[in-house]
Structure 1
Amino acid sequence: MNNTLHHHLAPKVQEQWGPPLPDNGSLNGSLGDMNATGIAQIMIPQELFLMLGLISLVENILVVAAIVKNRNLHSPMYYFICCLAVSDMLVSVSNVVETMFMLLTEHGVLTVTAGMLRHLDNVIDVMICSSVVSSLSFLCTIAADRYITIFYALRYHSIMTTRRAVAIIVLVWLASITSSSLFIVYHTDDAVVACLVTFFGLALVFTAGLYLHMFVLARVHSRRIRALHKSRRAAATSMKGAVTLTILLGVFIVCWGPFFLHLILILTCPTNPYCKCYFSHFNLFLILIICNSLIDPLIYAYRSRELRKTLKELVLCSWCFTM
């Protein structure tokens, strides 16, 4: 791939926040290319990015379709989970589109202009930034929803109405798209990196604080719910939802944490040899981000019997339709 294509197609997370790029490679490539610092840059085959992106895309489409199809899943929590799946889809779609563009251009199948690549680059960057901002926002929203479910069980349906849930969803998406567009316009400013890192930290502190409070006092409130003639199953279901979202949060931290640590090191020690060594693993951090989109649907299916049942029906119907 020529240098012009490489310069424009590599997203700004790599161009601005990644390590120096090799002159003769692409965002994905062979193992062991050397970057400008002389440290071996770990590269990943483009085909692996494409395969993981396609699997993740199919999984998240199935989750969204299952929630839309099954009326038993039409509740605020599953609406938020549906939006979380859409956020994961943004990562998958951007990865698939970019990788296919690279492969087609490398093999001479597709010829594009620099202007076209620049526009594609901007669209992909907005999708990726929107994904991380909306994912964090919906994780916080789901945590708040579970908190209300457990501690305000009798008033839950009056507090978290469908209209309020839809308003929250619209607000989150508007804020995510707007902030992501601003991040891309001012991507060369260190303040953008600082804002992303700060938002990541605040979201984790907020969510972790809610979950800690939930699990410390959940037993007491479960007894109160049962004392008010609510079924033991209702309390158990609420806690199960909280556990599911705790797992989702843990997976998010594991998959996105290395990338945000990368951003922190860029701000604090960009020339330190140890930091430069960490920067050389940037492409592995990208793989982890894609894996987050791939793992989340498996968690939904494993933790929710109703969703798992609907997913099986969708897969079987698709299989029968193709026969």
Structure 2
Amino acid sequence: METDLSQSTYMENGNFTNATDAESNSLGCVQIRIPQELFLTLGLISLVENILVVLAIFKNRNLHSPMYYFICCLAVSDMLVSVSNVVETIFMLLNDHGLLDVHPGMLRHLDNVIDVMICSSVVSSLSFLCAIAADRYITIFYALRYHSIMTSQRAVAIIVLVWLASITSSILFIVYHTDNAVIVCLITFFCITLVFTAGLYLHMFILAYFHSRRIVTFHKSRRQATSMKGAITLTILLGVFLLCWGPFFLHLILILTCPTRPFCNCFFRNFNLFLILIICNSLIDPLIYAYRSQELRKTLKELVLCSWYFGV
């Protein structure tokens, strides 16, 4: 995946290149210009938010459970997008203002590192969304055996496996970026994880509805409500992920189906907008965690107030 430090690039036949102005102008294409300062601002806010989520989960022992371990890793995945965006934008701003003279070879290496981070983020995010869905599924339908099925050791093993797979696949994606099979694999993985997660959700919500009508004791009712709240939270996370990452995967699909057509080139020209949506996903996720979890929200408030107090 070859890129330059201009964020108005797109992926064509496996490479990020600038769309041809002649083709775009002939169709009257509209290219949305996004200031680099907006990339930097959103990236920094997202980075701070996700760091706070990770610190809150580490700080509060009540959040030391497999589901929150996976949420913590999901926040780290979002941080990869934020860090890559901030680093890229800083280099671009310094280069544009003549404050940095970078060798083209160094730029290629930087682009490769950024691409690895972004690819690792999407693979790990999808994987951890699946892991959280499976965790909620076990919590609802195998409540009595949950602690024997989803142990801390198994959760750590899943986390290690996901990160190894994400990093390995990302490196392979960069090495074989000229092969369309790599893009096909990424799109296939995206579709498989969505089908898997959607299947679990459908089963969860249908059976949970019938189970809730048979529950008699208050304790079970409370436990069922808590489990379903976690499932609803993850449904929101998945929906936001689809909205924010969907245009990027549509971008990849168009690379395979119509890489040279003028209409597709019009779509490619707005790659900056897709990047902003991806960054917004990293920014919105922590807000969802905080809104849906009272315990996490309380810990986040303590961290913010503590940092503000010592800052003053």
- TM tier, shorter chain? over 0.9
Tell me by how many angstroms 1:271 deviates: 3.1
What residue number does 1:159 align with?
149
The sequence identity of aligned pairs, in percent, is: 77
Contact 2:119 / 2:170 at 8 angstroms: preserved in 1?
A: yes
Deviations 1:25-50 (A, max 9, x none): xxxxxxxxx47643443331110100
RMSD: 2.2
Contact 1:60 1:85 in 2 (8 A): yes
**Post-superposition offset of 1:128:** 0.5
Report if aligned partners of 2:241, 2:281 keep a CA contact under 8 Å in 1: yes
Distance 1:230 1:7, change over 3 A: closer
Alignment of 1:202-281 (within 5 A): 202-222=192-212, 226=215, 230-281=219-270
Determine whether 1:64 maps to 2:54.
yes
- Distance apart, 1:231 and its partner CA: 3.2
Could you tell me the TM-score, scaled by structure 2's length?
Answer: 0.92
Secondary structure of 1:54 counterpart: helix
Aligned residue pair count = 307
Distance between the aligned counterparts of 1:258 and 1:223, measured in 2? 40
Cα deviation 1:201-257 (Å, max 9, x = unaligned): 111111011001100101233456x45784321111000000000000000000001
- TM-superposed deviation, 1:59: 0.4
Contact 2:95–2:101 (8 Å) recurs in 1: yes
Partner SS for 1:9: coil
Partner of 1:286: 275
Q: 1:42 corresponds to which residue? A: 32
Matching of residue 145 in structure 1 with residue 135 in structure 2: yes
- Residue 108 of structure 1 deviates from its aligned partner by 1.8
Report SS of the residue matched to 1:231: helix
Q: Tell whether the 8 Å contact from 2:19 to 2:265 is kept in structure 1 after alignment.
A: no
Aligned 1:82-121 pairs, distance under 5 A? 82-121=72-111
Partner amino acid, structure 1, of 2:298: K
- Cα deviation for residue 297 of structure 1 reads 0.3
Give the whole-Å Cα distance in 2 for the aligned partners of 1:12 and 1:159. Answer: 47
How far apart are the structure 1 equivalents of 2:5 and 2:197? 35
Describe the shift of the 1:247–1:206 C-alpha distance in structure 2 as closer, same or farther (beyond 3 A): same
Q: Contact 1:18 / 1:282 at 8 angstroms: preserved in 2?
A: no
Give SS of 2:72's match: helix
Separation in 2, partners of 1:22, 1:246: 36
Whole-angstrom distance in 2 between the partners of 1:205 and 1:41: 33
Q: Which runs of 5+ in 1 are unaligned?
A: 1-5, 24-33
| Residues 11, 268 of structure 2: 8 Å contact kept | no
Q: Which structure carries more relative contact order (alpha carbon 8 Å, separation 6+)? A: 2
Could you tell me which of 258, 280, 292 is aligned with 1:303? 292
1:12 and 1:52, CA in 2 relative to 1: closer, same or farther beyond 3 A?
A: closer
The answer as to 2:43 corresponding to 1:53 is: yes
> Normalising to structure 1: TM-score of the pair?
0.89
CA contact (8 A) 2:39 2:276 kept: yes
1:192 deviates by 1.1
- The change in CA–CA distance for 1:321 and 1:258 in structure 2 (over 3 A counts) is same
TM-superposed deviation, 1:22? 6.4
- Look up the SS of the partner of 2:177 in the other structure: coil
Given that 1:11 and 1:124 are in contact with CA atoms closer than 8 Å, whether structure 2 keeps it comes out as: no
Q: Which runs of 5+ in 2 are unaligned?
A: none
Supply the AA of the counterpart residue of 1:14: Y
Q: How does 1:168-179 map to 2 (within 5 A)?
A: 168-179=158-169
- Residue correspondence of structure 1 range 302-321 to structure 2 within 5 A: 302-321=291-310
